[in-house]
Amino acid sequence: MMQTYGISVIRTVPELRDQTAAWRDEDERIALVPTMGALHEGHIALVRRALETCDRVIVSLFINPTQFGKNEDLSIYPHDEIGDIEILEELGIHVLYAPTMEEMYPDGFATSVRVSELTEGLCGVFRPVHFAGVATVVTKLLLQSLPDVAVFGEKDYQQLQIIRRLARDLDIPVLIDGVPTVREEDGLALSSRNAYLSPRERVMAPSLFKVLQKVATGLQAGEEVQGLMEAGKRELLKDGFSKVDYFEVCDAETLKPVSRIKAAARVLAAAYLGKTRLIDNHPVVANRGD
Ligand code: PAF
């Protein structure tokens, strides 16, 4: 275990288990915030939530190769462990768990966690290996640390629902806490991938949130789902997005597409600005009496 000023950097499962056992002996509540590093204000909001609800907070940092497809950005994914440690120390985090590749995927590793249905639509159509990679690594992180609470952002809304489902289905005794998306002043959701946007693309990017917001408002006012989805897609293309992977209205829990708003729903989109794929989503509240 490497001890910097106030934070311990742990790289192995036995060390992590020793640490969590010691905290448990003291009846302390433990939170886990899984990340792939390159921490920004979005992650910091997750960490703050964890600090509010638990006595001890573990932040994990592991750039998980199995959730990247062949042509995705694994090789250029930002990595700055020293910068991340500085941020976490300032926030008063107790442990950074940064396992090595061998610790997470030792020779002969052969298991995959696959959540059906929830993973099949939306991003699952365009990133076929992504959610099995996420589900497997998150299951491992939960079982390695056995936290009382694990905190994830609503920015990756499909991921959040998948993790809620896997924890429930596999009886992992953890509360999955979802935190609202942190945005720039102009509405752009914070994401490590925003760094790939050119200055011109950065100016166009907030349109994604504005269009989602407009569609959610229309849905709440009783406008028709199909027409609004098509209009939303057209508007993104008009605003400079080069390709829209999807623009859909789904049930907030099951993520099944809906044609009328009868219960809480979510409008979700993924679209490209040049080579950068942005995702975002917005809640849709069902009107009482509908
Ligand atoms: O959202 C992320 O950063 C990752 O998908 C996660 C949950 C840390 C798993 O690698």
The pLDDT value given to residue 19? 98
Ligand 1, atom 1, residue with closest C-alpha = 35
Q: Which residues are catalytic?
A: 43
Give the DSSP letter string of the chain: -EE-SS-EEE-SHHHHHHHHHHHHHTT--EEEEEE-S---HHHHHHHHHHHHH-SEEEEEE---GGGS-TTSSGGG----HHHHHHHHHHHT-SEEE---HHHHS-TT-------TTTTTSTHHHH-TTHHHHHHHHHHHHHHHH--SEEEEEGGGHHHHHHHHHHHHHTT---EEEEEPPPB-TTSPBP-GGGGG--HHHHHHTTHHHHHHHHHHHHHHTT--HHHHHHHHHHHHHHTT-SEEEEEEEEETTT--B-SS-SS-EEEEEEEEETTEEEEEEEEEPPPTT-
30 alpha carbon – ligand 1 mean position (Å) = 19
Distance 112 CA to ligand 1 centre (A): 16
Distance 280 CA to ligand 1 centre (A): 15
Superfamily covering domain 2-179: HUPs (3.40.50.620)
Domains of the chain, residue spans: 2-179, 192-282
pLDDT of amino acid 129: 96
Q: What is the pLDDT of residue 36?
A: 97
- Please tell me the pTM assigned to this model: 0.96
Which atom of ligand 1 lies closest to the CA of 35? 8
Q: With a cut of 50, which residues of the chain have pLDDT below it? A: 290
Residue nearest to atom 3 of ligand 1 (CA): 35
Query: 123 alpha carbon to ligand 1 midpoint, in Å?
Result: 14
Nearest-atom number in ligand 1 for the CA of 163 is 7
Supply the pLDDT for residue 238.
98
Q: Which residue's CA is the closest to the ligand 1 atom numbered 8?
A: 35
- Point out the ligand 1 atom lying closest to the alpha carbon of residue 138: 9
Quote the pLDDT of residue 289. Answer: 55
pLDDT of residue 6: 84
For domain 192-282, the CATH class is alpha beta
pLDDT of residue 94: 92
Q: What residues line ligand 1, using a CB cutoff of 6 Å? A: 34-36, 64, 67, 134, 137-138, 156, 159
Q: What is the pLDDT of residue 16?
A: 98
